[in-house]
Amino acid sequence: MRQATSRFAFISSETSDADAALETLSARYGQASVDEADIIVALGGDGFLLQTLRETMGTGKKVYGMNRGTIGFLMNEYRATGLPERVASAIAETIRPLEMQVVTTAGESVKALAINEVALWRQSYQTAKIRITVDDQMRMAELSCDGVMVATPAGSTAYNLSAHGPILPLDAPLLALTPVSPFRPRNWRGALLSNKATVRFDILEAKKRPVNVAADHTEVKNAASVTVRESPDQTATLLFDPSHSWNERILTEQFRY
């Protein structure tokens, strides 16, 4: 168990609420640099927390989020008191990002990491046409759609859920392959894949039907092909209060009506 003497680095999304929380917490507990800290406390919303996880990926730093944003699905409740005790009893979850490799129609190659999802979507009024291959086996010769994505368990409650994809427990060894407004095949609702799978999207008629792709906030225009897999070596660690763990949030979300 971690000791109550953990060194904290408080970082803010730079909203008024987050800045005020940073001032209060750093005055109470002290402020270490990110390099020196044992625990990074991210003050903001889910987007800021994901940004923090990307920036600390592979460093071994643990990130504890407190909600100073709007929804805060990934965040713990904000309270100024009892932080060392909360962190000492927190549940650690390992986040593994997706690795995206894009080849554009101009032949440029771009790589990026995504904690939530890698999403493709049509760039113009023309419906996108995409071929889907999983582990070198073609699974769908042509998907006509507005878009398609591969989502991690951490990202399954974000864009994936909005597109009617499945919610995945954080420790599930799965990825969600989810279409966005599929036209043909109209009734296809996506697939659950092993987290060891490699997914390749080939853009058909890429010049006529241009497609953009994004790994979280990293966007690439005019994709010709996109390869996605879970990173075998990059990880981030997220801390949750036991009273409001990720799995409890997942169960609660699935029973909303």
- Continuous segment of H or E residues that includes residue 142: strand 137-151
Q: Does a structural domain hold residue 18?
A: yes
Together in a domain, 192 and 224: yes
Q: Which residues contact 110 (CB under 8 A, 6 or more apart)?
A: 100, 101, 102, 104, 218, 220
Cis geometry, peptide bond prior to residue 97 (ω within 30 degrees of 0): no
Residue 257: its pLDDT value, please? 62
Q: What is the mean pLDDT of each run of 10 residues along the chain (257 residues)?
A: 71 96 97 95 92 90 93 88 96 92 98 95 95 98 97 90 90 95 93 98 97 94 98 92 76 70
Catalytic hit among 19, 46, 216, 241: 46
Together in a domain, 102 and 222: yes
Together in a domain, 90 and 111: no
Residue 1: its pLDDT value, please? 40
Residue 60 is part of a domain; what is its CATH number?
3.40.50.10330
Residue 58: its pLDDT value, please? 87
Residue 171: its pLDDT value, please? 83
* Three-state secondary-structure class, residue 86: helix
Q: Which domain holds residue 110?
A: 98-230
Known catalytic residue at 46: yes
**CA-to-CA separations, 209 to 125, 161, 175, 204, 256, in angstroms, rounded:** 8, 26, 27, 8, 38
Q: What's the predicted TM-score (pTM) here?
A: 0.84
Together in a domain, 184 and 69: no
Together in a domain, 83 and 162: no
Q: What domain count does the chain have? A: 2
Binding residues for NAD(+): 46-47, 116-117, 146, 154, 157-162
Together in a domain, 107 and 77: no
Which of 117, 79, 123 shows the shortest CA–CA distance to 99? 117
Q: Does a structural domain hold residue 105?
A: yes
Residue 3: its pLDDT value, please? 45
Which of 20, 19, 75, 76 shows the shortest CA–CA distance to 47? 75
Q: Does a structural domain hold residue 1?
A: no
Residue 174: its pLDDT value, please? 96
Together in a domain, 66 and 149: no
Together in a domain, 114 and 18: no
Q: Does a structural domain hold residue 180?
A: yes
Residue 196 is part of a domain; what is its CATH number?
2.60.200.30
Q: Does a structural domain hold residue 52?
A: yes
Q: Measured between alpha carbons, how far is 222 from 240 in angstroms, rounded to an integer?
A: 39
Which of 24, 57, 18, 60 shows the shortest CA–CA distance to 39? 60
